[in-house]
Amino acid sequence: MTTYEVNFDGLIGPTHHYGGLSHGNLASVGHRHAISSPRSAALQGLAKMMRVADLGIPQAFLPPQRRPDLAFLEVQGFSGSPAERISATGQQRPDLLSIAYSASAMWTANAATVSPSSDCEDGRVHFTPANLQTMPHRALEARQTTKTLRTIFHDKNHFVVHEPVTAGVETSDEGAANHTRLCRSYGGPGVEIFVYGREQDDHHQTQRFPVRQTRAASEAIATSHMLNPQRCVFARQHPDAIDAGVFHNDVISVGNQSFHLVHEFAFADQDRVLAEISDTFGPGLQQIVVTDQELSLPDAVQSYFFNSQLITTGSNQMLLLCPIECSENAAANRLVASLLKADNPIYDCQFVDLRESMQNGGGPACLRLRVVLTEEERAVLPPSVFITQRQYRQLCDWVKRHYRSQLTVDDLADPRLIDEVAIAMQELDEMLGF
Ligand code: SUG
């Protein structure tokens, strides 16, 4: 039976803007209140999806979430009609308006943690939507994500969509951005690596930036996904990396099948962690450690090299899909050239322009949720979530008709935006048929 890795990218929503909302994410804070282009952002994201689909790799998407989140504004004390709530919040608390309008659900690597059926004892694909509780704008996503995943992965014979891990100080969870699965082939058993930044009674705190993933959440997910504990590795993120702006593990390491590319400061106690991963995997794993000399932590964060997608295009053949910023960073450029020459599965590197998302700290890998599916599992999904030439054209056309080419944080107080977005979303719902 053929098994695929399907990327579910986040379709970038019409309210994409630069709120400067993510402390510890240097790009987000650095572009605070810059002018965004929701239209370019969405078209860039769609072009990336089509590029992957053109390689013959199944590509799907998750729709944008409903914004503004009026219920959130109500909880903050702003009541009345939608337009009244927006205008009062805009005048008194523009920071809350930015949260209510955030399009951050585009970064679907944070939507959920996913374990393929071949790893789970009950033979079903397990999803746990991330609670994203560390950042208020991201915490709004969990409820809608759960609903969307339950709609798309509705067949209970094949899929389980759990509730997000219950919110609590020690259970903050950011999904697949802190989870890597290595395997010999997608359909075979995998090693699931859960990366966390904090555990209970921790004495190794970061100095500057918040830690977003807790060990307790990762453990709860491994248990509810019915994974074999012998095939799971729990690794702690290096606190220096977090303090350098590596707020998720997918900004400092990337793995695919039997190839694992990591920065030397990806994990605390790195030698032990890599040995444990290798022992758990057994023979055939290739681990490449990129030294800080080759690519310093600031260069890794600036170029987002590790946020590239490693895409299998043939037997032990992988394409590296890098953010275009890597081509503009001398050290990242040298690293790509040397990886292309060395003995490893990467045979080609392509650059992709995702600048609108990148300026909020979201590269190619942030924009996609990897879901390994058998042919049978894939066959029960709604066809409208897959990117075909036709669907791509329709979505581009929809974006061009409904999205603004520019958006500032002040524009969020414009009551017309509420209706514009509602009309766009209604049309998308009709297009998707669910
Ligand atoms: O959570 N940025 C996102 C970027 C997420 C990247 N995801 C992965 N690494 N997988 C975040 O920090 C910025 C929003 C703003 O400032 O408007 C933001 O939420």
Does residue 281 lie within any of the structural domains? no
CATH code: domain of residue 396: 3.75.10.20
pLDDT tens across 141-159, in order?
999 999 999 999 999 999 9
Q: What is the mean pLDDT of residues 184-209?
A: 89
pLDDT tens across 95-117, in order?
999 999 999 999 999 999 999 99
Could you tell me the residue range of the domain that residue 31 belongs to?
Answer: 3-67+102-186+308-432
Does residue 393 lie within any of the structural domains? yes
CA distances to 13, 190, 205 from 273, in Å:
38, 17, 19
Q: What is the mean pLDDT of residues 239-256?
A: 97
Kindly tell me if the per-residue pLDDT of 170 is higher than 90.
no
pLDDT band at 430 (very low <50, low <70, confident <90, very high): very high
Q: Candidates 195, 360, 411, 412: which one to mutate for ligand 1, based on the most atoms within 8 Å of Cβ?
A: 360
pLDDT band at 206 (very low <50, low <70, confident <90, very high): confident
CA distances to 108, 152, 379 from 433, in Å:
21, 11, 17
Question: How large a percentage of the chain has pLDDT more than 70?
Answer: 99
Cα 207 from Cα 261, distance rounded (Å): 26
For ligand 1, is residue 357 a contact (CB within 6 Å)? no
For ligand 1, is residue 361 a contact (CB within 6 Å)? yes
Q: Is the separation of the CB atoms in 43 and 376 below 8 Å?
A: no
For ligand 1, is residue 22 a contact (CB within 6 Å)? yes
Does residue 216 lie within any of the structural domains? no
Tell me which residue of 140, 165, 141, 160 sits closest to 150, measured CA to CA: 160
CA of 107 to the centre of ligand 1 (A): 7
Has 366 been annotated as catalytic? yes
Has 238 been annotated as catalytic? no
In degrees, rounded to 5, the angle at the alpha carbon of residue 40 between the alpha carbons of residues 245 and 298 is 15
pLDDT band at 364 (very low <50, low <70, confident <90, very high): very high
For ligand 1, is residue 110 a contact (CB within 6 Å)? yes
CA of 407 to the centre of ligand 1 (A): 18
pLDDT band at 327 (very low <50, low <70, confident <90, very high): very high
The token duo for 19 is 């709120």
CA of 137 to the centre of ligand 1 (A): 10
Does residue 37 lie within any of the structural domains? yes
Q: What is the mean pLDDT of residues 165-189?
A: 92
Q: What is the pLDDT of residue 202?
A: 74
pLDDT tens across 11-31, in order?
999 999 999 999 999 999 999
Domain count, the chain: 1
Q: Is the pTM of this model over 0.95?
A: yes
Cα 211 from Cα 296, distance rounded (Å): 21
Does residue 260 lie within any of the structural domains? no
pLDDT band at 203 (very low <50, low <70, confident <90, very high): low
Phi, psi values for residue 400, rounded to 5°: -65, -30
pLDDT tens across 30-61, in order?
999 999 999 999 999 999 999 999 999 999 99
Does residue 239 lie within any of the structural domains? no
Does residue 159 lie within any of the structural domains? yes
Q: What is the mean pLDDT of residues 300-325?
A: 97
Q: Which residues contact 139 (CB under 8 A, 6 or more apart)?
A: 131, 132, 133, 167
Q: What is the overall mean pLDDT for the chain?
A: 96
For ligand 1, is residue 180 a contact (CB within 6 Å)? no
Does residue 74 lie within any of the structural domains? no
Kindly tell me if the per-residue pLDDT of 204 is higher than 70.
no
Q: What is the mean pLDDT of residues 387-402?
A: 98
Cα 159 from Cα 152, distance rounded (Å): 10
Q: What is the mean pLDDT of residues 117-135?
A: 97
CA distances to 151, 236, 278, 346 from 285, in Å:
36, 20, 7, 14
* Catalytic residue chosen out of the listed positions 232, 326, 349, 366: 366
Q: Which helix (H) or strand (E) holds 297?
A: helix 297-303
